[in-house]
Chains A and B, each alone.
Chain A
Amino acid sequence: DQQVKQNSPSLSVQEGRISILNCDYTNSMFDYFLWYKKYPAEGPTFLISISSIKDKNEDGRFTVFLNKSAKHLSLHIVPSQPGDSAVYFCAASYNTDKLIFGTGTRLQVFP
């Protein structure tokens, strides 16, 4: 039972354009959401998070949007850079520090 899903296993975007990574969840109890970037054979690196009381959080080139009614969140990267190429995981938690991770989306930013 995959509570957090990323339906696009991969995404290819041209440098300078916007990258939009999507994440859906099924558990309405989740109250905190995070995005991580990961390279092979390395631990995830925290990017940005959002609490369920908000619908948007912005940090530099990264913006996370949360639509609670649709149980959907998205990560926008503008402008995309080649160094952004990695696997991106969304994660969710409720009332605890335990994180439930999505399946990941491999982002490739080409020149």
Chain B
Amino acid sequence: GAVVSQHPSWVICKSGTSVKIECRSLDFQATTMFWYRQFPKQSLMLMATSNEGSKATYEQGVEKDKFLINHASLTLSTLTVTSAHPEDSSFYICSAPHREGLLYEQYFGPGTRLTVT
């Protein structure tokens, strides 16, 4: 089946620095990708929709200046957490929808664990 990768799988950074997370669709093109965040023992919360060639669409309550999203190609979306703070520590997951004929699925990356110290 289709595969979505994320890099890095985990990252530790100091407060105030920026961290970039990559999401790649490995064997299909994705004009749209989604970024989620999951806090421990909680649900996956949709942060934003990444649109290839245009601006991302952010969910209510998500700071667009803090979580910069760039969808520069049909297989790559990046999420940059700017001026990270300890409360940004979380598990970040991306996904990409894929259609092939009547088959529709949304594939998720393995996630990135961000720890801000």
Please list the residues of chain A having a beta carbon within 8 angstroms of any beta carbon in chain B: 34, 36, 41-46, 49, 89, 97-104
Of B14-22, B63-71, B76-84, B108-116, the segment with at least 4 beta carbons within 8 Å of chain A is: B108-116
**B75 touches A (CB below 8 Å):** no
Where chain A touches its partner, the secondary structure class is: loop
Query: A97 touching B97 by the CB < 8 A rule?
Result: yes
Closest to B33 in A: A97
Query: Do B111 and A43 touch (CB < 8 A)?
Result: yes
Q: With A43-B109, A46-B106 as known contacts, state yes or no: A97 contacts B34, CB within 8 Å.
A: yes
19 A-B pairs (CB sep. < 8 Å):
A36-B108, A41-B91, A43-B95, A43-B110, A44-B93, A45-B108, A46-B105, A49-B104, A49-B105, A89-B43, A97-B32, A97-B97, A97-B106, A98-B49, A99-B46, A101-B44, A102-B43, A103-B43, A104-B42
Contact partner, B110, options A42, A100, A103, Cβ 8 Å: A42
